[in-house]
Amino acid sequence: MTRKPPEPGHPADFLEARREKLNRLIGLGVDPWGRAFRRTHTLGQVVAECASLEGQRVFVAGRIMAWRSHGKAAFADLEDASGRLQVYLKRDRVGADSFTLLELVDLGDHVGVAGEVFRTRSGEVTVAVDEWSFLGKALRPPPEKYHGLRDVESRYRQRYLDLIANPGTREVLRNRSLIVRTLRDILDERGYLEMETPTMSAVVGGANARPFVTHHNTLGIDLYLRIALELYLKRLVIGGYDKVYEIGRVFRNEGVSFRHNPDFTMLEFYEAYADYEDMMRFTEYLIPEVARRVLGTTRIIFRGNEVRLDPPWQRQTLREAIRQRAGVDFVGLTDIAAARQAARDRGLEIAPDATRGQILDQVLDRFVQPDLIQPTFLMDYPVEMSPLAKRRRDDPSLTYRFEACVGGIEIANAFSELNDPIDQRERFLEQAGRRDRGDQEAHMMDEDFLTAMEYGLPPTGGEGIGVDRLVMLLTDSPSIREVIAFPLLRPRA
RNA sequence: GGGCCAUUAGCUCAACUGGUAGAGCAUCCGACUCUUAAUCGGACGGUUCGGGGUUCGAGUCCCUGAUGGCCCA
């Protein structure tokens, strides 16, 4: 590709203009990349403490976000993680040579400045610069200063530009960090130990999902990326830790949607000698408490609805919730053919060999979850959908399991853990049968886990929370991709 | 996987029923020592997502591919 040679004063394009400035800087013996710069204050601190700082000399640094030139003076807006601050660059103050060098400054450059804090006529806190230096030249221009970066694809592919240009994105990812930290704080306060379990292993389980496969070269074996944290955390409970949790990435080889990303963050916690009732009580404390600590309120807006997170949350059996919203008792319906037909009558596409669990999943997805705006526990899932949950004493076809829905999406899944290794083996066998019949989401037989269970898992309450979805909820984000810094996209062709 | 929509200058967006691709910001040149979406004057900047077709003529219509969004699965 040929390109016009840049004429002096008329560079062929914006990239060459910046390259040329860079070369001029190097030619002048100026280091365009800078070195560590000892700030006395962040930009936000200068603004916040301006009353006491007025008249004092400060050292601050930031990226140049706006530039207003006035002949022998100029104003620039600097930005760092703490905020934005205006600086005033006057020839009489910085000196003629240094002022001339400002011609080589571009939007997006990092600079460090020293100068006196003052207020302009209009009252804006400003630093009257007497010395400045380059801390990092930008060879590409930042996005448009007023509209920012709007193109959704560019925002995800080049998240750094999204972050530079859009304060709202900075706020969301910052809140994500605070939410995760707060989850840890609360779990720590409650005496849970944070653990780390394998992300790769020869057998995966803990959820109905297709795993990613990878390969270990020296061992010469295929390994799976984990789809849940459950089976290893339960081993730790067997080992004697009575309260454990893990926050970590899990990987599911399935489609992408506004609430699905192939890798996402799960929180799972397990408490020995507890049950799903305890998990419900803890959940309806945990979620509003996170909201209160991070956002300062338990009343949030999500997708245009006000959601009140305060306890107690609604409780409804799955059976009743479905009967109420779909008009059919799908849980109680034992005739599978009739169930398939009833689902089809309600506009669902049901495969001829669909199991009851698959039908219930679809009915839940379509009719029940979207309707559950206020926090709700859906309780008592059928045993065939819940191969790791304890059976109800009063009805062994159901389990002590609940899912929590908030804002119309599922954010948590919990149960009284199945601790009978004989029943667990039967459940795995039943799942393995489905696998043999082609259900790639069915559980694998996990002899190692069964062996562990045979050493004795105490009655245990366990729960998984979709951290990304919780962040969506608390930041009113319409898509999971808004709360994941670098969501998966197809590579650019 | 299916349906609908989108893709135009570095960024944000225009361009009626097919008829010379424009604006703002950014960039470059010039003026300006309290501006703040600074202002004023001038200039540069395009594979209209890729490929094919229809037509005297395609950003616009048709086919095909790519990527993304939304809805459905």
- pLDDT tens profile A198-256: 999 999 999 999 999 999 999 999 999 999 999 999 999 999 999 999 999 999 998 88
**What are the angstrom distances between the C-alpha of A121 and each of A125, A327, A389, A406?**
10, 69, 69, 50
Which of A272 and A440 is assigned the larger pLDDT?
A: A272
Between CA A418 and CA A405 the distance in angstroms is 23
**Taking a C-beta distance cutoff of 8 angstroms, is the pair A300, A476 a contact?**
yes
What mean pLDDT is predicted for residues A131-156? 91
What are residue A144's phi and psi, to 5 degrees? -55, 140
What are residue A429's phi and psi, to 5 degrees? -65, -40
Q: Is the pLDDT score of A4 beyond 60?
A: no
Between CA A274 and CA A458 the distance in angstroms is 9
Q: Which nucleotide is nearest to A71 (CA to C1')?
A: B32
* pLDDT score for A347: 85
Q: Which nucleotide is nearest to A123 (CA to C1')?
A: B34
Among residues of chain A, what percentage have pLDDT more than 90?
83
Average pLDDT, chain A: 93
**Whole-number distance in Å between A439 CA and B4 C1':** 31
Q: Is the pLDDT score of A8 beyond 50?
A: no
Q: Which nucleotide is nearest to A10 (CA to C1')?
A: B28
> Which two tokens mark A407?
């804002």
Contacts of A42 by beta carbon, 8 Å cutoff, 6+ apart: A60, A80, A81, A82, A83
Contacts of A430 by beta carbon, 8 Å cutoff, 6+ apart: A384, A387
Q: Which nucleotide is nearest to A107 (CA to C1')?
A: B26
Look-up: residue for tokens 């996402």? Answer: A264
Closest CA to A22 of A13, A14, A12, A32: A32
* pLDDT score for A493: 61
Question: What is the spatial order of strands in the sheet that A213-216 belongs to?
Answer: A200-201, A221-225, A213-216
Q: Which residue is nearest to nucleotide B12 (CA to C1')?
A: A147
Spell A101-113 as b/e; 16+ CB within 10 A means b: bbebbbebbbbbb
**Whole-number distance in Å between A148 CA and B13 C1':** 12
* pLDDT score for A357: 87
What mean pLDDT is predicted for residues A16-21? 88
Which of A473 and A357 is assigned the larger pLDDT?
A: A473
β-pairing, A376-379 vs A314-317, is parallel
**Taking a C-beta distance cutoff of 8 angstroms, is the pair A460, A417 a contact?**
yes
> Which two tokens mark A347?
């506009």
Between CA A287 and CA A309 the distance in angstroms is 7
> Which two tokens mark A349?
């596409």
Tens digit of each residue's pLDDT (9 = 90 or more) over A270-309: 999 999 999 999 999 999 999 999 999 999 999 989 999 9
Q: Whole-model pTM?
A: 0.93
**Whole-number distance in Å between A28 CA and B71 C1':** 58
**Whole-number distance in Å between A301 CA and B60 C1':** 41
DSSP A220: T
pLDDT grade for A49, boundaries at 50, 70 and 90: very high
Interface predicted TM-score (ipTM): 0.90
> Which two tokens mark A80?
């760092």
What mean pLDDT is predicted for residues A394-401? 97
Rounded CA Rg of chain A = 29
* pLDDT score for A218: 97
* pLDDT score for A3: 29
**Whole-number distance in Å between A103 CA and B20 C1':** 38
3-state DSSP helix/strand/coil percent for chain A, to nearest 5?
35, 25, 40
Q: Which nucleotide is nearest to A491 (CA to C1')?
A: B67
* pLDDT score for A9: 32
Between CA A448 and CA A415 the distance in angstroms is 22
**Taking a C-beta distance cutoff of 8 angstroms, is the pair A289, A186 a contact?**
yes
**Whole-number distance in Å between A415 CA and B56 C1':** 74
pLDDT grade for A10, boundaries at 50, 70 and 90: very low
pLDDT grade for A6, boundaries at 50, 70 and 90: very low
**Whole-number distance in Å between A312 CA and B73 C1':** 35
**Taking a C-beta distance cutoff of 8 angstroms, is the pair A148, A158 a contact?**
no
What mean pLDDT is predicted for residues A140-153? 89
Q: Which nucleotide is nearest to A11 (CA to C1')?
A: B28
> Which two tokens mark A405?
């829905």
Between CA A311 and CA A307 the distance in angstroms is 12
* pLDDT score for A352: 84
Strand B nucleotides, any atom under 7 Å from protein beta carbons: they are 1, 10-13, 24-29, 31-39, 43-45, 66-73
Amino acid sitting at position A492: R
Closest CA to A352 of A362, A344, A361: A344
Between CA A136 and CA A77 the distance in angstroms is 16
Between CA A446 and CA A433 the distance in angstroms is 13
Between CA A112 and CA A409 the distance in angstroms is 46
pLDDT grade for A439, boundaries at 50, 70 and 90: confident
Closest CA to A211 of A410, A384, A442, A389: A442
**Residue A183, phi-psi category: left (phi > 0), alpha (psi -120 to 50), beta (remainder):** alpha
* Collapsed DSSP state (helix, strand, coil) of residue A178: helix
